[in-house]
Chain A
Amino acid sequence: MRATLARFWDGDLAWSWRHTPVAMVATFLLIALLVAAFGAPWIAPHNPFDLATIDLLDALKPPVWLVDGTTKYLLGTDSQGRDMLSALMYGTKVSLLIGLAAVAGAMSLGIVLGLISGYAGGRIDALIMRVADVQLSFPAILIALLIDGVARAVVPGDMHEVIAFPVLVGAIALAGWPQYARTVRGSTLVEKNREYVQAARVIGISSPVIMFRHVLPNVLGPVLVLATVHLATAIITEATLSFLGVGVPPTSPSLGTLIRIGNDFLFSGEWWITIFPGAALVLLVLSVNLLGDWLRDALNPRLS
């Protein structure tokens, strides 16, 4: 274990990381956000969803450095007296979970379809790629919005809160698979003529096994880069859908939902209810984007 870690630390990727200050800052920022999000049940100062601890008298308190602020609520409270800092931490968790699940879904779907497309070729390939082409010509957010909207129309209103999570994940995943499929297909086309694949075929290994056991590990590099950048997009898409009111319900708000709630108080001067979730969202997306940019450059020596 230690030896592997030491080898990784001395490797090209770690070297590049240690010599790219932006990547280091982005990593630490992301780690801090991850800890705050997933450690929320333990480290958050309040539990914003525990009705017993919420007091309406504490509603709309400004952050601590303003006139009416108290140290009890460092970033102020919302209209129901919920602590903003805690709501932010829980909200970041929801945003991250949906983003990660959607990326995993899009990645799995894209990898499977891309492998089949590249390995099988012929009509299946043409069909899959045509669908991907058409889908890519529409913006992902529009497709996610349509899927989300249709799902809401199909399911009766009182079920919306239950299905909000899976529907969001599914919509964002379905909107994101074509890029993975294209990338994987491209690499598969190259890999399938390599000797190791021919050798595997000669000794009679079945196509699915060759695809997933032998080709897949060799096409994963670009997919991981894509996944990093896609995570940022997926988080933005989720936030946008939630902001539009067709995403996560206010009972377990994501960052987008928090911004939507806060938007109603913009004109009455309680700017912190909107701006803090917005800032958290930007920091999250920015750190993921910066890491993705660095990873792309580091894994692709031709670019530098």
Chain B
Amino acid sequence: MFAFILRRLIQAVGVMLTVALLAFILFQYVGDPVMIMLGQEGTPAEREQLRQSLGLNDPVVVQFYHFLTNAIQGDFGLSLRQGQKVSLLLRERLPATLELSIAAALIALVVGVPLGVYTALKRHGKLSQALLAFSLFGVSLPTFLIGILLILIFSVQLGWLPSYGRGDTVRLGWWSTGLLTASGWHHLILPAVTLSLFQVALVMRLVRSEMLEVLRADYIKFARARGLTKRAIHFGHALKNTLVPVITIMGLQLGGIIAFAIVTETVFQWPGMGLLFIQAVQFADIPVMAAYLCLISLIFVVINLTVDLLYFVVDPRLRVGLGKSGGGH
């Protein structure tokens, strides 16, 4: 077991180092920082002095070491476009993205799981078929198009919901939340629904196929033979056993949601990290891109690692299997 955890940890560190190296290469070799900071007017002597003070004359390994130590402390330098510290920019935008992503994930679970159970139990019902067809449609519909359609219907035609920004926010320390004001909730609805629709379809299909699989299992037949109520069988036995993979996938999807938030944030001009990143890409703002790259990779690596470890805790079979293959050499 320790070998497994150790291996996963080493892999996680390896991924982060690779990402950091990519970010470093981007940072160091794309565009000349000296030219950017001094402009065209600097004399050769000034340039040389700045090179020296920035450590650009050090060996590459030393530079990478400095980059790493700075990155771990969250220091990615100044944004080329806005002239502000990148870490501050990201910290300002982080709450918006996280609130949007978590809202979307909750919607996906609260709507997706019941729909999945329903379509599995009423397999041949008309409504189930319609829901399945709808989910295929949902998978075929790109996120940004869903957003545009929702804006067209609910903002332009009906005028019910705002389509732009985050509304009024309240500051709790450095965390600015939109969840404490009515306008914040209003503004959250359309982006969160947009971001969640794909996940709803995914969760529904997943729960359905897992349920169908479990309902075929022997212990369900046995439970039926014992004369347990349908309710006890479906929710006590079947649903419980389908939830492990569902929670795993949802955990893994959380990273995907944060990544897809880039698209949703652009459609709704939601002031999160994704919008910041897209603007950075458009203006070749390398420090912001590098920082976002590192941050999103860190989020992914942490999520994957947590899910792997949780799986390990939840499913005893995995422990036995790995113990054997690990110790069998």
Query: A57 an interface residue at 8 Å Cβ cutoff?
Result: no
Q: Is the interface of B mostly helix, strand, loop or mixed?
A: helix
Q: Would A245 and B30 count as touching, CB distance under 8 A?
A: no
B-contacting residues, A271-304, CB 8 Å = 271, 274-275, 278, 281-282, 285-286, 289-290, 293
Which residues of chain B come closer than 8 Å to A139, judged between CB atoms?
255-256, 259-260
Which residues of chain A come closer than 8 Å to B297, judged between CB atoms?
138
A-contacting residues, B139-162, CB 8 Å = 139-145, 148-149, 151-152, 156
Other-chain residue from A130, A141, A154 in contact with B11 (beta carbon distance below 8 A):
A130
B130, chain A: closest CB distance, angstroms: 14
Q: How many A-B residue pairs have CB under 8 A?
A: 99
Question: Contacts A137-B300, A139-B255, A267-B156 hold; do A278 and B145 have CB atoms under 8 A apart?
Answer: yes
**Stretch in B57-65, B106-114, B279-287 touching the partner:** B279-287
Which residues of chain B come closer than 8 Å to A141, judged between CB atoms?
259-260, 263
B177, chain A: closest CB distance, angstroms: 26
Q: Would A244 and B263 count as touching, CB distance under 8 A?
A: yes
Which residues of chain B come closer than 8 Å to A246, judged between CB atoms?
278, 281-282
Q: Would A152 and B256 count as touching, CB distance under 8 A?
A: no
Which residues of chain B come closer than 8 Å to A130, judged between CB atoms?
11
Query: A92 an interface residue at 8 Å Cβ cutoff?
Result: no
Query: B9 an interface residue at 8 Å Cβ cutoff?
Result: no
Q: Using an 8 Å CB-CB cutoff, how does the interface string of A98-135 with B read, 1 for contact, 0 for none?
A: 00000000000000000000000000000000100010
Query: B220 an interface residue at 8 Å Cβ cutoff?
Result: no
Which residues of chain B come closer than 8 Å to A149, judged between CB atoms?
280-281, 289
- A: contact size bracket: 35 or more
Which residues of chain A come closer than 8 Å to B15, judged between CB atoms?
134
Which residues of chain A come closer than 8 Å to B140, judged between CB atoms?
232, 282, 285-286, 289
Query: B31 an interface residue at 8 Å Cβ cutoff?
Result: yes
B8, chain A: closest CB distance, angstroms: 11
- Most chain B beta-carbon neighbours within 10 Å: one of A137, A141, A281: A137
Other-chain residue from B152, B256, B289 in contact with A275 (beta carbon distance below 8 A):
B152
B269, chain A: closest CB distance, angstroms: 11
**Stretch in A74-82, A208-216, A235-243 touching the partner:** A235-243
B251, chain A: closest CB distance, angstroms: 12
B-contacting residues, A223-241, CB 8 Å = 232, 236, 239-240
Query: B266 an interface residue at 8 Å Cβ cutoff?
Result: yes
Query: B293 an interface residue at 8 Å Cβ cutoff?
Result: yes
Query: B304 an interface residue at 8 Å Cβ cutoff?
Result: yes
Which residues of chain B come closer than 8 Å to A293, judged between CB atoms?
136
Query: B296 an interface residue at 8 Å Cβ cutoff?
Result: yes
Q: How distant is the Cα of A172 from the Cα of B141 in the complex, in angstroms?
A: 18
Q: Would A266 and B156 count as touching, CB distance under 8 A?
A: yes
Which residues of chain A come closer than 8 Å to B296, judged between CB atoms?
142
Query: A64 an interface residue at 8 Å Cβ cutoff?
Result: no
B76, chain A: closest CB distance, angstroms: 15
Query: A174 an interface residue at 8 Å Cβ cutoff?
Result: no
- Most chain B beta-carbon neighbours within 10 Å: one of A139, A149, A278, A286: A149
Q: Is the interface of A mostly helix, strand, loop or mixed?
A: helix
Q: Would A259 and B144 count as touching, CB distance under 8 A?
A: yes
Q: Would B148 and A266 count as touching, CB distance under 8 A?
A: yes
Question: Contacts A281-B145, A286-B140 hold; do A153 and B289 have CB atoms under 8 A apart?
Answer: yes
Which residues of chain B come closer than 8 Å to A232, judged between CB atoms?
140
B150, chain A: closest CB distance, angstroms: 11
Query: B115 an interface residue at 8 Å Cβ cutoff?
Result: no
Q: How distant is the Cα of A244 from the Cα of B148 in the complex, in angstroms?
A: 13
A8, chain B: closest CB distance, angstroms: 28
Query: A263 an interface residue at 8 Å Cβ cutoff?
Result: yes
Which residues of chain A come closer than 8 Å to B134, judged between CB atoms?
none
Which residues of chain B come closer than 8 Å to A275, judged between CB atoms?
152
Query: B193 an interface residue at 8 Å Cβ cutoff?
Result: no
Which residues of chain A come closer than 8 Å to B11, judged between CB atoms?
130, 134
Query: B262 an interface residue at 8 Å Cβ cutoff?
Result: yes
Which residues of chain B come closer than 8 Å to A240, judged between CB atoms?
142-144, 263
Question: Contacts A239-B142, A245-B278, A245-B282 hold; do A278 and B148 have CB atoms under 8 A apart?
Answer: yes
Q: How distant is the Cα of A215 from the Cα of B69 in the complex, in angstroms?
A: 48
Which residues of chain B come closer than 8 Å to A83, judged between CB atoms?
none
Question: Contacts A240-B143, A281-B142 hold; do A259 and B148 have CB atoms under 8 A apart?
Answer: yes
A140, chain B: closest CB distance, angstroms: 10
Given A244-B144, A278-B148, 16 other A-B residues pairs in contact with their CB atoms under 8 A = A138-B255, A139-B256, A139-B260, A141-B263, A150-B289, A152-B281, A153-B31, A236-B142, A239-B144, A240-B263, A244-B278, A259-B145, A274-B148, A282-B140, A285-B140, A293-B136
Q: What are 29 A-B interface contacts by the 8 Å CB criterion?
A: A134-B11, A134-B15, A139-B256, A139-B259, A141-B260, A142-B259, A142-B296, A145-B262, A146-B293, A148-B281, A149-B280, A153-B286, A154-B30, A239-B144, A240-B143, A243-B142, A243-B266, A244-B144, A244-B262, A244-B266, A246-B282, A259-B144, A266-B148, A266-B152, A269-B156, A271-B156, A274-B148, A278-B145, A286-B140
CB within 8 Å of A: which residues of B? 11, 15, 26, 30-31, 136-137, 139-145, 148-149, 151-152, 156, 252, 255-256, 259-260, 262-263, 266-267, 278, 280-282, 284, 286, 289, 293, 296-297, 300, 304
Closest 5 CB pairs of A and B: A149-B281, A142-B259, A153-B284, A286-B140, A285-B140
